[in-house]
Amino acid sequence: MVDDIPSPRSRLLTFLVLTLPWISCGSAPEDKPDPAVEQHYRENEQMRLERLAKSQNFQRILLDMDKAVSEFVNNTRRDDNEQAQRKLKAWTNWLATNVPRYRKELRLLLQDQESSRARQIAAAALGFDAGTDKNRVTLSALVMALETESVPEVKTNIYTGLGIYASPLTPTEKLFDLVLDTREPLSVRQSASWALLRIQIAGADPKGFARTWGLLLEGEPYKKDPMLAVNALQGLGLLRDPAQLMIIVPYLSDPPPYLQEAACVALGRLGNRKAAQYLLPLFGNAERNVSVKLFARKALQALAGDGVDHEYDWKSWAKEFYLEGTPETGFQPSKKKRPDQSLKEDKEPL
């Protein structure tokens, strides 16, 4: 009887023999992928690749924007150079086309505390978003960035961006204070003064400009930073206020020609005919710069009005403004009254 009882080993073999046919003939349930999961994965992967490509492309674009802004700044004041103006137009068009495409990324870079260089590039480039910034989101971003920015190079470019943007709605109170604050780095003050000038030209409320420009010009001209002085002279002239005459006059005799030229332009815009007695000495032999003489002539033309132009004939100009004297001795109002002396002394500026 004991021999009839299967051993454990024989029982296992019997089980395998009986079950193998069922295992081999049967099929296990297939683990089919979920189409929705696969689609989600593909979409995420595509987005990841697009973000990566865009990120790499954006870095290249950022470097191009940096170069373009530098070219813009370098050529913007060279209005007498035809090649420079062609470059300026080309880079301006390129920036005006590409900055709006990346405005969101550039705005985010303004908040990037890890890279001041990135903030610096973004700040200046965003100025070219003015044409498409319908709700002035970019303008607000630039203004807000000034509240927290402490790196001078970035602050300089934020003001450059505000100047390029040139919106008459830009808050100017802090810019007025900063331009006059001698504790600020000179580069920051220069950039802020240029921004103020551009904002003024765009039609900002004139309140505050006369005081700021006047304080910048107050004192000895030779002690002033040339860029600050030129911007202030231009801004003061644009106010077209005859009462500003004697603030500008000292800069006619300052040696750097560009300061003399800026002073001539400002006096021509003021419309104060009394400026003629200070402009005429520039026609003398002491002034050797022909460009300064040309600017003085244009200023006299603006003051005389009615298309009057006596070219470089100082005697005819003196007669025009009823002055006596010479370029060497200076000019004074003639003691004789001319028939139209009772008319308005200061003509309207052109």
Number of residues written out for the chain: 350
pLDDT band at 325; cut points 50, 70, 90: very high
**Is residue 325, in this structure, part of any structural domain at all?**
yes
Are residues 245 and 157 both part of a single domain? Answer: no
Taking alpha carbons only, the member of 246, 276, 274 closest to residue 346 is: 274
Question: According to the model, what pLDDT value does residue 55 have?
Answer: 67
Question: According to the model, what pLDDT value does residue 23 have?
Answer: 45
Amino acid type, 180:
L
Domain end: 161, 178, 206, which one?
161
Block residue for tokens 């373009």: 68
**Is residue 7, in this structure, part of any structural domain at all?**
no
pLDDT band at 114; cut points 50, 70, 90: confident
Total number of domains constituting the chain: 2
Q: Is 133 helix (H, G, I), strand (E, B) or coil?
A: coil
Question: According to the model, what pLDDT value does residue 335 have?
Answer: 83
Domain end: 130, 161, 192, which one?
161
- Going by the DSSP 8-state scheme, the letter that residue 256 receives in this structure is S
Region of poorest pLDDT, from 141-145, 227-231, 294-298, 332-336: 332-336
Question: According to the model, what pLDDT value does residue 291 have?
Answer: 94
Question: According to the model, what pLDDT value does residue 75 have?
Answer: 83
**Is residue 155, in this structure, part of any structural domain at all?**
yes
**Is residue 47, in this structure, part of any structural domain at all?**
no
Show the CA angle centred on residue 102, arms to residues 132 and 58, nearest 5°.
Answer: 160
Torsion of Cα atoms, 209 then 240 then 272 then 280, to 10°: 80
Res. 16: pLDDT tops 70: no
Domain interval for residue 313? 241-350
**Is residue 212, in this structure, part of any structural domain at all?**
no
Amino acid type, 74:
N
Region of poorest pLDDT, from 11-15, 230-234, 270-274, 322-326: 11-15
Domain end: 161, 178, 212, which one?
161
Which DSSP helix (H) or strand (E) runs through 325?
strand 323-326
Q: What residues contact residue 248 under an 8 Å CB cut-off, 6+ apart?
A: 217, 233, 236, 237, 263, 266, 267, 270, 275
Contact by Cβ (8 Å): 146, 174: yes
